[in-house]
Amino acid sequence: MANIIKLLPDHVANQIAAGEVVQRPASVVKELLENAIDAGATSIKLIIKDAGKTLIQIIDNGKGMSETDARMSFERHATSKITSADDLFNLSTKGFRGEALASIAAVAHVELKTRIHKNEVGTRIEIEGSKIITQEPCATPVGTSLAVKNLFFNIPARRNFLKSNNVELRHIIDEFQRVALAHSQIVFAMFHNDGEVFQLPAGNLKQRIVGIFGGKTNEKLVPVAEETDIVTIQGFVVKPEFSKKTRGEQFFFVNDRFIKNAYLNHAVSAAFEGLLPDKTRASYFLYLTVDPSTIDINIHPTKTEIKFDDEHSLYAILRSTIKHSLGQFNIAPVLDFDRDANLDTPYAYKDKYVHTPKVEVDRTFNPFETVPPPKKGATMPSYTKQNVEGWEQLYEGLKTPPSDGTSNVTYESDEVTGNLFQKDTEYAFAKAESSTYQLNNKYIISTIKSGMVIIDQHRAHQRILYEELLRNITVKESVSQQLLFPLVLNYNSSELALLVQLKEGLENTGFVFGKVANETLEITGIPTSLPESEVPIVIEQLLSDLENEVPDTGFSQTDTLAKSMAKSMAVKAGETLDGSSREHLVNSLFACKEPSVSPDNRTTFITMSGEELDRKFK
């Protein structure tokens, strides 16, 4: 039998590796940014065109590479980060596998310019699909400039799987933010299609967070700090009242490396137990420093998952540290029955000297006197009664007997031991003037010819609003109510960019926008069916629904917008509806094109025939 196992060619092996390392343009951005940091750069510039599909360029002022190193960097498993297997258990760098540049060069056109400090000229290398086209000397500053062009040019199927430019740009921004947050001492800049997206100067951690997520973030942060033998924790958590429904602002860093860890995230949620509003998640920026020998990074291609030696201790320390910070800054309530908060010493008076108060008493004061007390040696004046005329009239009528004899009679009432039905629940026999009845403030019951129909009020209202919003967006005939005072909301740059993208669709639903700049969104008009107080909730729900994927322009975007707004604006379970509101909801539901299911394909109503009811009583 002939031998059938053979070695793959290098260009094929590189393309297979690229399937794990290079999933989308954001993967390239992550790898190149980490390489620039490992090179000791203090200033890094990211240039993007067409969401990375046309160009991804990283320019840094690091130590650069020699001519030989520049050529070797594109070979598989060629790295300067480790020399033996033991180094995997004591990693202090971002990359160590030596697969990134080889994988990127296998699926793109790559141009590298690099120079080390001691050389007067640098090296320029061009690669297309793992093949070196050009290698020559060039004039370039100290550091490295790596341009990745036409990503997946030789794998059309992979390129077709990429999402729209807006989706891919959001993924790139996410990766850029993660790297920038982990290294506040480095200057970062990001440009997309010749427009500036971020310009982040070097500073402390808080300045970097505010620079990325906007100036309003400053007032939301609560500092967290703890140092133990196992872990050193630093960072910030966001106050509970500013929590969001999205997971966007949840950042864990271990030894300046962004990670995802559901176990540690649960520790943070446990620390916020009882403080967060319903269906919201805690936001945090937490930096953990541990001994590199106690973690294993090499368990995932993207290196975002880490294996800890002692996760249980980390869980307990992290939870206790956050609880302590929330209590220290009066975010969490303190339960102490023997403590009087009024007796707490303010910080400003803690070191001040305490003076014994002196009490002065006027021993000549007489509360019954109507004139000033006499001086010593003076004769006592004679006093006369004043305003005492007619005092007898105050007692007139008290001896007059009551007009009827029922005033002093008490009646014995029957003791009510309990009700079979709830008082606030309307049934057919309790309110006969309406043909609909509400059960548990959640379901609407109405009679039909064959029996009765039971409607879920929240899902039904979702269906009604969804079709109404979809119609308004399509025909562009929505009605708005103008606000007396504009509503100004604050969002970070990525959220604001997403809202600007959806601006036309939101305007077709009834929103009217004013200025959109400096991380603020001004709203001057809202849909007539939307209370002003619920506008932030609706927009936050919309951002939450679009957190993972931003649909392309067209019907999918309109459909997502209508579904999200309908879910936010629909009446919730637990709301009491009067008779006219119930009847209007029932009539509007059965006037819809698809009354039987909600926008997310869940049942809106069920029917029960008379025969089914008869069988219940057998």
Q: Rounded distance, CA 493 to CA 499, Å?
A: 10
Question: Is 297 within 8 Å of 255 (Cβ atoms)?
Answer: no
The 3-state DSSP class for residue 405 equals coil
pLDDT-based confidence at 420, cuts 50/70/90? very low
- Residue at 360 is within a domain: no
pLDDT: which is higher, 1 or 329: 329
The percentage of the chain sitting over the pLDDT mark of 90, rounded to a whole number, equals 26
Instruction: Count structural domains, the chain.
Output: 3
Q: Are residues 235 and 131 in the same domain?
A: no
Whole-number pLDDT of residue 510? 85
pLDDT: which is higher, 557 or 189: 189
Q: Are residues 324 and 253 in the same domain?
A: yes
The 3-state DSSP class for residue 610 equals helix
Whole-number pLDDT of residue 429? 36
- Residue at 553 is within a domain: yes
The 3-state DSSP class for residue 347 equals helix
Question: Residue 524 belongs to a domain with what CATH number?
Answer: 3.30.1370.100
* 303, two tokens: 């290196």
pLDDT: which is higher, 55 or 309: 55
Q: Are residues 218 and 244 in the same domain?
A: yes
Residues with Cβ < 8 Å from 192, sequence gap 6 or more? 48, 49, 51, 169
Q: Are residues 170 and 250 in the same domain?
A: no
pLDDT-based confidence at 565, cuts 50/70/90? confident
Q: Are residues 18 and 89 in the same domain?
A: yes
End of a domain among 200, 221, 253? 200
Classify the phi-psi angles of 198: left when phi > 0, otherwise alpha if psi is within -120 to 50, otherwise beta: beta
Q: Are residues 581 and 471 in the same domain?
A: yes
Question: Is 603 within 8 Å of 597 (Cβ atoms)?
Answer: yes
Per-residue pLDDT of 442-453, as tens digits, reads 999 988 888 889
- Residue at 376 is within a domain: no
- How do 143-149 and 55-60 pair as beta strands? antiparallel
How many helices (H) and strands (E) the chain has is answered by 16, 22
Q: What's the rounded mean pLDDT across residues 380-403?
A: 60
Domain that holds residue 537: 422-618
- Residue at 527 is within a domain: yes
For 205-235, give one letter per residue: b (16+ CB within 10 A) or e.
bbebbbbbbbeebeebbbebeeeeebbebbb
Closest among 518, 447, 463, 520 to 486, alpha carbons compared: 520
Asked whether the predicted pLDDT for residue 433 surpasses 50, the reply is no
Residue 464 CA: distances (Å) to CA of 461, 470, 474: 5, 10, 16
Asked whether the predicted pLDDT for residue 423 surpasses 90, the reply is no
Asked whether the predicted pLDDT for residue 564 surpasses 60, the reply is yes
Question: Residue 159 belongs to a domain with what CATH number?
Answer: 3.30.565.10
Per-residue pLDDT of 179-230, as tens digits, reads 999 999 999 999 999 888 889 999 999 999 999 888 788 888 999 999 998 8
* 387, two tokens: 């305003």
Classify the phi-psi angles of 70: left when phi > 0, otherwise alpha if psi is within -120 to 50, otherwise beta: alpha
- Residue at 382 is within a domain: no
pLDDT: which is higher, 187 or 376: 187
Question: Is 171 within 8 Å of 494 (Cβ atoms)?
Answer: no
Asked whether the predicted pLDDT for residue 316 surpasses 90, the reply is yes
Q: Are residues 154 and 235 in the same domain?
A: no
Q: Are residues 226 and 162 in the same domain?
A: no
Closest among 101, 239, 216 to 491, alpha carbons compared: 216
| Mean pLDDT for the chain overall | 81
- Residue at 386 is within a domain: no
Q: Rounded distance, CA 262 to CA 385, Å?
A: 84
Q: Are residues 173 and 33 in the same domain?
A: yes
Q: Rounded distance, CA 475 to CA 508, Å?
A: 8
Sign of CA dihedral 487, 491, 494, 495: negative
Kindly report each contact of residues 482-487 with a partner whose C-beta sits within 8 Å and lies 24 or more positions away, as own/partner. 482/512, 482/524, 482/525, 483/523, 483/524, 483/525, 483/526, 483/532, 486/514, 486/522, 486/523, 486/524, 487/522, 487/523, 487/524, 487/526, 487/532, 487/535
- Residue at 42 is within a domain: yes
Q: Are residues 253 and 155 in the same domain?
A: no
Per-residue pLDDT of 456-500, as tens digits, reads 999 999 999 999 888 888 877 778 888 888 888 888 777 787 788
Amino acid symbol at 423? K
Instruction: Identify the bridge partners of residue 57 per DSSP, sorted by sequence position.
Output: 47, 147
Whole-number pLDDT of residue 421? 42
Q: What's the rounded mean pLDDT across residues 397-402?
A: 60
Among 376-390, 447-461, 555-569, top mean pLDDT goes to 447-461
- Residue at 25 is within a domain: yes
Q: What angle do CA 382, 385, 391 make, to 5 degrees?
A: 170
- How do 295-296 and 232-238 pair as beta strands? unpaired
Amino acid symbol at 497? A
Q: Are residues 497 and 580 in the same domain?
A: yes
Closest among 190, 144, 154, 170 to 25, alpha carbons compared: 170
The 3-state DSSP class for residue 37 equals helix
Closest among 446, 434, 443, 447 to 579, alpha carbons compared: 434
The 3-state DSSP class for residue 186 equals coil
Whole-number pLDDT of residue 303? 66
User: Largest Cα–Cα distance in the chain?
Assistant: 141
Residue 54 CA: distances (Å) to CA of 44, 51, 109, 110: 20, 8, 10, 12
Question: Residue 307 belongs to a domain with what CATH number?
Answer: 3.30.230.10
**DSSP state, residue 125:** E
Q: Are residues 314 and 460 in the same domain?
A: no
The 3-state DSSP class for residue 448 equals strand
Question: Is 41 within 8 Å of 99 (Cβ atoms)?
Answer: no
Q: What's the rounded mean pLDDT across residues 115-123?
A: 91
End of a domain among 200, 226, 257? 200
End of a domain among 176, 200, 224? 200
Whole-number pLDDT of residue 299? 60
- How do 250-254 and 284-289 pair as beta strands? parallel
